[in-house]
């Protein structure tokens, strides 16, 4: 009887051992089912992430009044709405065409973003609520708290190790495909690799140590504006707010103007930094100088408006005279504004004013490399070149 009891105990232990298979064996046994579930889950997560993912520089301008300038010099303005694959500018007021069609916004699709030159945010164009949000935004960007710094460091780590994660995923799928009979799993390996890379790319973040060190620090942004025959490069000082693989954002805490003037225009004029052309009951204002030109207000005929539209060098806006014989303009020239530019046309090439960051101490007996950093537009004696663009 004792022998029978021992035999039953041995059989139960054997059954228990058999039931408690190692996790890796279970994964290998059901690898095809796990792979199918993984494909569906990663595909769903990827779609959700991509639909919600927006460029972080463009997000800084979301729901603010901005001026959008393209490479042809055309300028539109309004409240910006940022989508994952495009932009929408909601006009300050509906526009009725000559055919009676009412247009309230303009859509800029992702494939048209390559024509973007600059997105400017003049501070006087903002409402009190927008100014308050902007102040908080700048504080978070220039003086981030511990959670924000930790999240940014995590994104940078994911981006740095993205290739390693991708190769590890590919190696796991490769090993599974070798251990499972049949070509079904091996045939899905490339699809899984692609999904994994897409998911990692959606979660990752552009990371450049040279720019990362200058976040919140004074810099000089160089922007290549359209010109004939050659582009004109202008310098815009500010603080580096953020960057992505496509855009770069430079903000200013204060927007001090170089000049602020109100003038009555009854004929075409040419002034330092801009021109006003009156022709066929239309007034065309063009920025020709190295500074930003902000059209703060205009009065013509019975109409008064405050467009608060910012022009960069080579761009222009057009207004109707509405039957009047003159146009009264308030124009401001400045180099300090909040601006987001495509990295294909703009770059941070210089540090700005001295800061307390490591390596920014200046020698008392040194001299700056003038030929390498001097620009003719910085010299008042060369202001005649302002109209060369």
pLDDT digits (tens, 9 = 90+) for 6-56: 454 455 445 444 455 665 565 556 666 666 676 677 667 666 766 677 888
Please answer whether residues 61 and 340 qualify as being in contact, where contact means their C-beta atoms are separated by less than 8 angstroms. yes
SS3 content of the chain, % helix, strand, coil (to 5): 40, 35, 30
Cα separations (Å) of 298 from 78, 135, 273, 317, 327?
A: 17, 28, 18, 12, 7
pLDDT band for 353, please (50, 70, 90 cuts): confident
Please answer whether residues 50 and 82 qualify as being in contact, where contact means their C-beta atoms are separated by less than 8 angstroms. no
pLDDT digits (tens, 9 = 90+) for 281-332: 889 999 999 999 999 999 987 889 999 999 999 999 999 888 778 899 999 9
pLDDT band for 174, please (50, 70, 90 cuts): low
Give the burial class of 11: count Cβ atoms within 10 A of its Cβ; 0-12 exposed, 13-18 middle, 19 or more buried: exposed
Q: Is 67 helix (H, G, I), strand (E, B) or coil?
A: strand
Quote the CA–CA distance of 200 and 94 in Å, as a whole number: 42
pLDDT digits (tens, 9 = 90+) for 78-103: 999 999 889 999 999 898 888 889 99
Closest alpha carbon to 52 in 245, 161, 203: 203
Please answer whether residues 352 and 221 qualify as being in contact, where contact means their C-beta atoms are separated by less than 8 angstroms. no
Residues near 228 by beta carbon (within 8 Å), at least 6 away in sequence: 389
């Amino acid at each position: 009887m004792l022998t029978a009891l021992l035999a039953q105990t041995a059989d139960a232990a054997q059954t228990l051992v058999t039931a408690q298979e190692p996790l890796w064996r279970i994964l290998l046994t059901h690898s095809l089912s796990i792979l199918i579930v993984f494909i569906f889950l990663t595909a769903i997560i990827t779609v959700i992430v991509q639909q919600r993912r927006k460029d972080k520089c463009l997000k800084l301008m979301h729901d603010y009044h901005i001026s959008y300038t393209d490479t042809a010099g055309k300028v539109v303005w309004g409240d910006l709405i940022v989508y994952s694959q495009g932009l929408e500018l909601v006009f300050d007021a509906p526009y009725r065409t000559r055919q009676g069609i009412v247009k309230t916004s303009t859509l800029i699709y992702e494939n048209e973003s390559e024509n973007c030159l600059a997105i400017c945010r003049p501070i006087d164009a903002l409402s009190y609520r927008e100014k308050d949000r902007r102040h908080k935004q700048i504080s978070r960007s220039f003086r981030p708290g511990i959670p924000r710094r930790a999240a940014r460091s995590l994104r940078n780590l994911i981006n740095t190790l993205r290739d390693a994660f991708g190769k590890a995923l590919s190696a796991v799928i490769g090993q599974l495909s070798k251990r499972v009979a049949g070509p079904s799993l091996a045939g899905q390996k490339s699809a899984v690799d692609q999904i994994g890379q897409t998911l990692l790319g959606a979660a990752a973040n552009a990371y450049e140590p040279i720019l990362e060190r200058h976040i919140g620090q004074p810099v000089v942004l160089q922007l290549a504006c359209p010109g004939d025959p050659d582009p004109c490069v202008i310098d815009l000082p500010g603080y580096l707010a953020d960057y992505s693989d496509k855009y770069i954002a430079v903000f200013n805490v204060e927007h001090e103007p170089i000049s602020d003037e109100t003038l009555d225009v009854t004929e075409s004029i040419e002034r330092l930094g801009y021109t006003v052309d009156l022709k066929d009951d239309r007034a065309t204002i063009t920025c020709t100088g190295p500074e930003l030109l902000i059209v703060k207000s205009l009065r013509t005929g019975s109409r008064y408006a405050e467009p608060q539209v910012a022009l960069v060098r080579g761009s222009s806006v057009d207004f109707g005279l509405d039957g009047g014989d003159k146009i009264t303009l308030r124009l401001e020239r400045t180099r300090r504004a909040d601006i987001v530019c495509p990295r294909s046309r703009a770059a941070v090439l210089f540090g700005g004013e001295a800061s307390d960051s490591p390596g920014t101490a200046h020698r008392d007996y040194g001299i700056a490399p003038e030929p390498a950093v001097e620009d003719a537009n910085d010299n008042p004696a060369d202001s005649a070149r302002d109209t060369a663009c």
